[in-house]
C-alpha cells in the first residue's frame, strides 16, 4: 500500500465531491505487447517492450487529489486557500512560510502540495482493458450524468456537468469519449489504447488527517 498523488481537472474534482465519480482511466505507458506471456506476471505488472512494466496504482493505494488552488493571506499566520474547482475557501493555520506576502498566487494542480489536498481516494479494484471497451455503467462511474430529460422512450440524455463543450448524447459512453478527447486531445478516443481502469472510494479529508471514528 502506497500513498501517491493523482491529478484531476476542475469538473472531475466536482464529480468526486458530489459522489458522481468512482472510477478513472489512465493510459498504460508503455503500452502492453503480445510478445511476452500474460501468464503469472509479477504483481501489478504487465508485459511491455521494456519487459514487465508496473501499473501506476495498485489495490490498497491511497491517492491524494491534486487540483488547482489560489493561495492568499489574511495575516501573518493565517493562509487562505481557495479551491478553483468549486470556489471553496479554507483557512490553513498556521502557514508562517507565507507570512508577510499579501499577494495571491495561483498554484496549478501539478504543483499542489500534499498538505493542501482535501480529497483522499483508496483504490479498490484495478482492471486492464482497451479504452473503447468501457461499459455504459463504467462511463457513469467516470462522472457522466443522466440529465433526466426524455424525448420519448428510450431516448435518455447524458452529459458532463460543467463541460458544455462536450455534446449531450443518448448514451453515457459517447459522452465519456468526449471527455477523454478534451483531456488527451483530438483523435485520442479513436486510438483506443490500453488503459488501467481504477475504481476507488472517496474520502473528504486530507490524506494525513486523522480518521474520525
Contacts of 39 (CB under 8 A, 6+ apart): none
The band of 212, judged by pLDDT with boundaries at 50, 70 and 90, is low
Domain ranges of the chain: 3-65+119-203, 69-107
CATH class of this structure's domain 3-65+119-203: mainly beta
Task: Output the pLDDT for position 40.
Answer: 62
The mean predicted confidence, pLDDT, of the chain is 86
Specify the pLDDT at position 143: 96
pLDDT in tens, 6-15: 999 999 999 9
The full 3-state SS of the chain, as one line of letters, equals CCEEEEECCHHHHHHHHCCCECEEEEECCCCECCCCCCCCCCCCEEEECCEEEECCCCCCCEEEEECCEEEEECCCCCEEEEECCCCEEEEECCCHHHCCCCCCEEECHHHCCHHHCCCEEEEEEEEEEEHHHCCHHHHHHECCEECCCCCCCCCCCEECCCCCCCCCECCHHHHHHHHHHHHHCCCHHHHCCEEEEEEEEEECCCCCCCCCC
Assigned C-alpha cell, 205:
479529508
- pLDDT tens per residue across span 154-170: 677 899 999 989 988 88
Amino acid at each position: 500500500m502506497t500513498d501517491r498523488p493523482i491529478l484531476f481537472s476542475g469538473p472531475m474534482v466536482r464529480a468526486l465531491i458530489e459522489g458522481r465519480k468512482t472510477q478513472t482511466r489512465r493510459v498504460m505507458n508503455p503500452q502492453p505487447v503480445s510478445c511476452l506471456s500474460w501468464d503469472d506476471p509479477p504483481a501489478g505488472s504487465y508485459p511491455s517492450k521494456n519487459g514487465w512494466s508496473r501499473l501506476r496504482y495498485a489495490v490498497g493505494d491511497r491517492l491524494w487529489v491534486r487540483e488547482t488552488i489560489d493561495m492568499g493571506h489574511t495575516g501573518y499566520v493565517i493562509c487562505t486557500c481557495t479551491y478553483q474547482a468549486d470556489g471553496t475557501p479554507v483557512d490553513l493555520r498556521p502557514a508562517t512560510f507565507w507570512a508577510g506576502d499579501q499577494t495571491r498566487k495561483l498554484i496549478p494542480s501539478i504543483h499542489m502540495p500534499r498538505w493542501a489536498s482535501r480529497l483522499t481516494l483508496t483504490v479498490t479494484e484495478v482492471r486492464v482493458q482497451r479504452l473503447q471497451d468501457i461499459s455504459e455503467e463504467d462511463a457513469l462511474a467516470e462522472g457522466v450524468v443522466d440529465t433526466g430529460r426524455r424525448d420519448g422512450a428510450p431516448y435518455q440524455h447524458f452529459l458532463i456537468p460543467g463541460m458544455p463543450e462536450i455534446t449531450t448524447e443518448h448514451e453515457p459512453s459517447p459522452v465519456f469519449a468526449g471527455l477523454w478527447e478534451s483531456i488527451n486531445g483530438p483523435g485520442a478516443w479513436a486510438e483506443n489504447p490500453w488503459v488501467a481502469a481504477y475504481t476507488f472510494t472517496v474520502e473528504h479529508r486530507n490524506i494525513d488527517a486523522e480518521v474520525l471514528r
